[in-house]
Amino acid sequence: MPRPSSEAERLQHAECRWVGYELHDGLMQWLVGANLQLEAAVRSEQDASVEVQRDCVQSSMRMVAAAIEEGRELIAFLENPSTAQNCDVAVAVAGFVGKLRNHPQASSVTIEFLQSQVEWPQLPHSVAWSVLRVIQQAMLNALLHAQSTTIRAHLGWAGPGILEAEVVDDGRGFDVQSALKPGARPLHFGLSSMQHRAQMLHGQIEFDSTLDEGSRVRLTLPATTS
């Protein structure tokens, strides 16, 4: 049996890692987008019209607003992560897709969300949260790093009692094995986060990618996960 101090250190490390994943997968993504737009406004200060600069600033304001919303949602979740209220993952994904379409790098990208005819059941809040985070991270990776023109999220069933969430893009692809190595940039931390969440859900996650042909992230989990 581990010594109390060792167990406390292990729990503290796990807690810190979880918080790091949460900040990376949510809040940081919107702040990075806002910063990109402000940098664009500064670069175009002398060459672009006032309207172009205003568009950049307004876009950054939308990103900051999304970051504030993410922060509030995270605080609410941390206050009561095991709330008994079940959640509709499809509604949450649809809301995220709506926000993602307003991302400054999504202006020429088609972003779609599809569901199977047999809808998912509502899931416990903590489960739905982790599923949503996996989908968010996969879609953001496709938008920010893959130079995709189409990104598609899908909720369906992999078999009886097995839920399936999938994100597919037509971007430039990546070397999965290299990206999974610790320290790999820019994808490793996001992929590690998705793997960690899949484990917590007693599910499995697959990363399939071919250079110049796109990528697919597939999460499966029991419909009875609690």
Q: What is the pLDDT of residues 106-142, one digit of tens each?
A: 889 999 999 998 999 999 988 998 999 999 999 999 9
Q: What's the rounded mean pLDDT across residues 7-27?
A: 65
- Using the 3D structure, point to which of 60, 79, 98 is the last residue of a domain: 79
Nearest partner of 116 among 63, 155, 76, 150, judged by Cα: 155
> Is residue 91 domain-shared with residue 1, that is, in the same domain?
no
- Using the 3D structure, point to which of 62, 79, 96 is the last residue of a domain: 79
Whole-structure pTM value: 0.74
> Is residue 100 domain-shared with residue 135, that is, in the same domain?
yes
Look up the domain containing 28 and give its range: 1-79
Query: Half-sphere exposure (CA, 13 Å, Cβ side) for 189?
Result: 16
Give pLDDT tens digits for 63-75. 788 788 778 877 7
Please work out, in degrees rounded to the nearest 5, the angle formed at the alpha carbon of residue 182 by the alpha carbons of 177 and 184. 70
Enumerate residues 6+ apart whose C-beta is below 8 A from 107. Answer: none
Would you state the pLDDT for residue 202? 94
CA 215 to chain centroid: 15
Would you state the pLDDT for residue 75? 76
Would you state the pLDDT for residue 7? 58
For residues 151 and 143, is the Cβ–Cβ distance under 8 A?
yes
Please work out, in degrees rounded to the nearest 5, the angle formed at the alpha carbon of residue 128 by the alpha carbons of 28 and 78. 55
pLDDT at 225 over 70: no
Give pLDDT tens digits for 142-187. 998 899 999 999 999 999 999 999 999 999 999 998 888 877 666 6
Amino acid identity of residue 52, one-letter, is: V
Provide the 3-class DSSP secondary structure of residue 205. Answer: strand
- Using the 3D structure, point to which of 79, 106, 126 is the last residue of a domain: 79
Q: How confident is the model at residue 220 (pLDDT cuts 50, 70, 90)?
A: very high
Nearest partner of 191 among 207, 175, 214, 204, judged by Cα: 207
CATH number at residue 133: 3.30.565.10
> Is residue 69 domain-shared with residue 150, that is, in the same domain?
no
pLDDT at 85 over 80: no
Distance between CA 172 and CA 147 in Å, rounded? 6
Q: What's the rounded mean pLDDT across residues 8-27?
A: 65
CA distances 27 to 54, 66, 133, 191, 194, Å, are: 24, 8, 11, 17, 16
Rg, the chain, Cα only = 19
Would you state the pLDDT for residue 9? 67
